[in-house]
Structure 1
């Protein structure tokens, strides 16, 4: 069986980019000042043309909207998993600290993301997720980096479900983001 060509994944990359932009905006907002996020608005623009705006509240929960061809609302959380996050599909490595998570539920697919930090190396993080995702029937796609950034993509259901893991290292800490487009059955 041939792996899904990366060209076939291009339409879903916009959703993953939007989810990653939401997580990045939340992470940067959370890091910019403790206790100062109430009532602030952070905007980010993804390269796909989707615009993401996140508004924080004092309860450390946010709502964001992403628009490319249609408008949708996502739930987000800082320092915890958002309600409904598919933790069985996307587990958190032992010792990792959640920075932000998001979930946009749709009728045909749901988009979710997780940003966390750990002292594990990029190779250890990618190995953890490769073991976890391949055990669930995802196929690891060729390549372990894009432009020097550790990154791995996994697909299943003939390319209808996609998970991408990227890792950035700063000092002794690795920050990783897991972005996923999943079918409704995987969200249960």
Structure 2
């Protein structure tokens, strides 16, 4: 079994949430039958969003979402906005980027926060921005880490007790980046 750092697991979970919330109609946590275990009660970071269909002025169905809390955890998430109380100092939004998803869970030790955004900036410009932002907060970049065509960069501080993962995928002049942080609750600023 491959063991990923908690921040990388949070990043992957957030990317899955984004895909679930934005591309799959009807994607939701199922209600378990007595004796069954809910998928969200697994030992992973997860969140859900409440998407309700609406119509745009063109009559085309669209999706809007609001902040929600998963019943079996304290993960708060929202689509297309920063959740109220999101730690903008810890995980700043790249200038010019658009928020696709944000999530925070202060009930776990360590606490987790995730941000998914899109931009027309290059992968190297995104890595440069976040390397500077995290270095200014006392994080150290770890060497290597790309996974195939996905750029991946890990940052640690507090003797490895706190970590942030940055993952970037680019296609057709657009980049989607995902940040996943696993830090002390006091660091969620």
TM superposition score normalised by structure 1 = 0.75
1:21 is matched with 16
Q: 1:53 to 1:127 in 2, by over 3 A?
A: closer
Q: 1:144 to 1:62 in 2, by over 3 A?
A: same
User: Aligned partners of 2:131 and 2:20: how far apart in 1?
Assistant: 26
Deviations 1:120-157 (A, max 9, x none): 00111011100110111001000151223111000111
Check the 8 A contact 1:164/1:179 in 2, yes or no. yes
User: Aligned partners of 1:166 and 1:11: how far apart in 2?
Assistant: 14
Check the 8 A contact 1:122/1:174 in 2, yes or no. yes
Gaps of 5+ in 2: 30-38, 53-63
Instruction: Summarize the alignment of residues 78-97 of structure 1 with structure 2, pairs less than 5 Å apart.
Output: 78-97=79-98
Give 3-state SS (helix, strand or coil) of 1:114's partner. strand
User: Aligned partners of 1:11 and 1:115: how far apart in 2?
Assistant: 17
TM superposition score normalised by structure 2 = 0.74
Gaps of 5+ in 1: 1-6, 33-39
Q: 1:73 to 1:130 in 2, by over 3 A?
A: same
Check the 8 A contact 2:149/2:169 in 1, yes or no. no
Looking at CA atoms only, which structure, 1 or 2, has the larger radius of gyration? 2
Q: Report 1 or 2 for greater relative contact order, CA contacts < 8 Å, sequence distance ≥ 6.
A: 2
Check the 8 A contact 1:16/1:111 in 2, yes or no. no
User: Aligned partners of 2:153 and 2:23: how far apart in 1?
Assistant: 23
Q: 1:53 to 1:161 in 2, by over 3 A?
A: closer
Say what the alpha-carbon RMSD is for the aligned residues. Answer: 3.1
Q: 1:50 to 1:137 in 2, by over 3 A?
A: closer
Alignment size in residue pairs: 168
- Aligned partner (choices 48, 53, 66) of residue 54 of structure 1: 48
Q: Greater strand percent: which structure?
A: 1
